[in-house]
Structure 1
Amino acid sequence: MAEDFDPASLDLAALIECRADVPAYNGFAIWLAGGSGAAETLGWKEVASGNPFLAQYQLPAPVHVFGRETGTIVFTATGPMAMLDGIAAPDLARELDVPATVSTPDKFLGERVVAESTEDTGGVSLSTRITLNVSTVDTHPDKTLAGCSYALDVK
């Protein structure tokens, strides 16, 4: 997948807003993680996130997502998220119809399933799950993270 990825084809907003499929995301993610200089090819600058679970990038130009724009994105283990200012996580979650699973003054976490499927082929079961997520993290106070999780489970 990674060798077939063309950086010119990247639609970052589609990946963040869950408008891509799992193979499209995986091809990009493998390309980004596998090649030294991949982020630089896109003009992205990796910056310290202060969080071992987030890879953070400063973009050369803002990306427009969820009716807002941001110049900073992070990647979790399963997908890209925009780092947004000026809107509280519970408010954005309501706008995006994302139900809260945790909502306290210190932490917000919400998830809405966008697509889910299972295919059985030749004794192998492929389950895909795409979710739209809104959250906060301690390492980024006053920021709201919103983006997509792309999961593929092979059994």
Structure 2
Amino acid sequence: MMRGAAILFAALIAAPAAAPAATFDPVGVSVEDILACRMDARHYNGLISWLTGPDNGAAKRKWTRVEGRDPTVVEYRLPTPANILGHTTDRIALAGTAVLAILPDVAPASIAGEAGIQNTTPTADRFLGERVIDRQVERDADLGMDMTYKRVLIVTVLTRYPGMTFAGCSYRTEEGQR
């Protein structure tokens, strides 16, 4: 019994830990993985910095910036269409902590229903639904506090984009255990 515990302990020590943010390679992550919440939430800020910063990662991916209707949303046209929840688009948006596919002529209730997402603002002209995909709480020794990392699948509409549904992932980092 003691030998088995020692082997298990040795295996746990030798097992690789979760990849630190510094090892993230933004070139290697696909648009579909980003949209479908398959990227580690701790890597979101690095991705956005690479895409929109001096490295101009968006241009390296051949994403073309599109003049948008909302100053809080940064839009891109993709060189090849991406798939999100069974729908295809060549346009995505960066908005706050989210990367969202822009889906014209897709009813938000339809795509949300397929993803098991409920509308939290049930009015005729509004839709916002989300589902937490993953939540991890980690102690940040440098800050001396817990940090919560979440990946949240979102379906929403924006009033400045009539007839369009936005669907994708919000990568959230929050203080404490939320």
TM over 0.5, shorter chain = yes
Give the deviation of 1:124 after TM superposition.
Answer: 2.2
**Quick check: 1:22 aligned with 2:50?**
no
Give the deviation of 1:38 after TM superposition.
Answer: 2.4
8 Å contact kept, 2:42–2:149: no
Length, aligned pairs only:
154
Give the deviation of 1:6 after TM superposition.
Answer: 4.6
Q: Which one-letter code corresponds to 1:89 in the other structure?
A: P
Deviates more, 1:132-141 or 1:22-31: 22-31
Alpha-carbon spacing, 1:39–1:3, altered in 2? closer, same or farther (3 Å): farther
Give the deviation of 1:79 after TM superposition.
Answer: 1.7
1:1-155 alignment to 2 at 5 Å? 5-7=25-27, 9-35=28-54, 37-122=56-141, 123-154=144-175
**CA distance in 2 between partners of 1:97 and 1:128 (Å):** 21
The structure 1 segments of at least 4 consecutive aligned residues displaced by more than 4 Å after TM superposition are 1-4
Q: Which one-letter code corresponds to 1:112 in the other structure?
A: R
8 Å contact kept, 1:120–1:126: yes
**What is the aligned-residue identity percentage?**
31
**TM-score, L = length of structure 1:** 0.90
Larger Rg: 2
Q: Deviations over 1:69-88 (max 9, x none)?
A: 10000011102000112320
**CA distance in 1 between partners of 2:71 and 2:25 (Å):** 27
**CA distance in 2 between partners of 1:49 and 1:91 (Å):** 25
8 Å contact kept, 1:5–1:31: no
Give the deviation of 1:63 after TM superposition.
Answer: 0.7
**TM-score, L = length of structure 2:** 0.79
8 Å contact kept, 2:50–2:56: no
What secondary structure, in the 3-state scheme, does the structure 2 residue paired with 1:40 have?
Answer: helix
Give the deviation of 1:148 after TM superposition.
Answer: 0.4
Give the deviation of 1:103 after TM superposition.
Answer: 2.1
